[in-house]
Amino acid sequence: MPEFRDKHDLDIRFCVEVLKLQSLHYGWWTGEELTLDNLRKAQVRYTEKLVRLIPSGVKDILDVGCGVGDNAIALAKKGYHVTSISPEKSHARFFAGLQNVRHQVARFEEFSTAEKFGLILMSESNNYFDPDIGLDQCDRLLRPGGYLLISGMFKAKDVCAYAGIRETEGSYVQKAAARGLVPQKSLDITREVLPSVQLGRKLYEEYAVPALAIGKEFVSGMSPLKRALMWLLFSRQVRLYLDTAQYYVERADAQLFTENVRYLQLLFRKA
């Protein structure tokens, strides 16, 4: 993934502050028109369906990579005790004062507690850390009979042209099995989330392309000396920005997505 992910968290800020989304995950679409408003509704539907996958008997949940808290809030409303973790310091404010939600700024790889959980949730966070380290942590943090629930992207085939996806379902299931995590459920919801990708493309073409053209025109109107100075001062930032833009152009390519990605909901149980 590009460098900005660790350093600037630009994409998350863009979703929350510019697009005014209350969730960072894809939406579950049922044939609606591609609009931001329908994306917001589809994101709520995604969370409702995710919560329904939690097996009975679960009481306490570790929400790994909890984003801006919409899943944690929905879970807490259902009466679960939620511990939510994410490395973004700036996101702690979304969790302040929530009932039944305890928030901690931490990377999953380093998260440590004496507690054991009934379920670990990774909603679109499974690709943000090494799967072996993540599964070792699950092994450590789940009580016997506890569950791991993942909702997120997996490679459709071994050689994957879509950036940032680490595992196929098969390779992940093997790694999980090595830690005594037994598959209980596998749902493929690629078709249901695909319109989120298509909407990303539409927004990019409608807003980002004209905005970039204005910026380009502005820079090309400068004197060669000013342009050279600007490049000297800001080349690193410009490269970072262009890498970020390129990353999202790829992420919003529906064909690349359908050929390379399976969006899966996987439930495992610790033996």
Ligand X SMILES: C[S@@+](CC[C@H](N)C(=O)[O-])C[C@H]1O[C@@H](n2cnc3c(N)ncnc32)[C@H](O)[C@@H]1O
- Judged by CB, which is closer to ligand X: 128, or 268? 128
Q: How far is the CB of 222 from ligand X (least distance, A)?
A: 37
Sites of contact with ligand X (CB under 6 A) = 23-25, 64-67, 71, 85-88, 107-109, 123-125, 128-129
Q: Count of CB atoms within 10 A of residue 217's CB?
A: 9
Give the sheet arrangement for strand 181-188, strand by strand. 101-105, 81-86, 60-64, 117-123, 142-155, 261-270, 181-188
Question: Nearer to ligand X by C-beta: 109 or 188?
Answer: 109
Q: Least Å distance between CB 123 and ligand X? A: 3
Closest to ligand X by CB, 130 vs 216, is: 130
C-beta of 203: minimal distance to ligand X in Å? 17
For 150, the 3-state DSSP assignment is strand
Instruction: Compute the least distance from the CB of residue 114 to ligand X, in Å.
Output: 19
Strand partners, 81: 60
User: Would you say 194 or 212 has its CB closer to ligand X?
Assistant: 194
Q: What share of the chain is helix, strand, coil (3-state, %, to 5)?
A: 50, 20, 30
Distance between CA atoms of residues 173 and 32, nearest Å: 33
What residue spans of 18-115 are helical by DSSP H? 36-52, 70-77
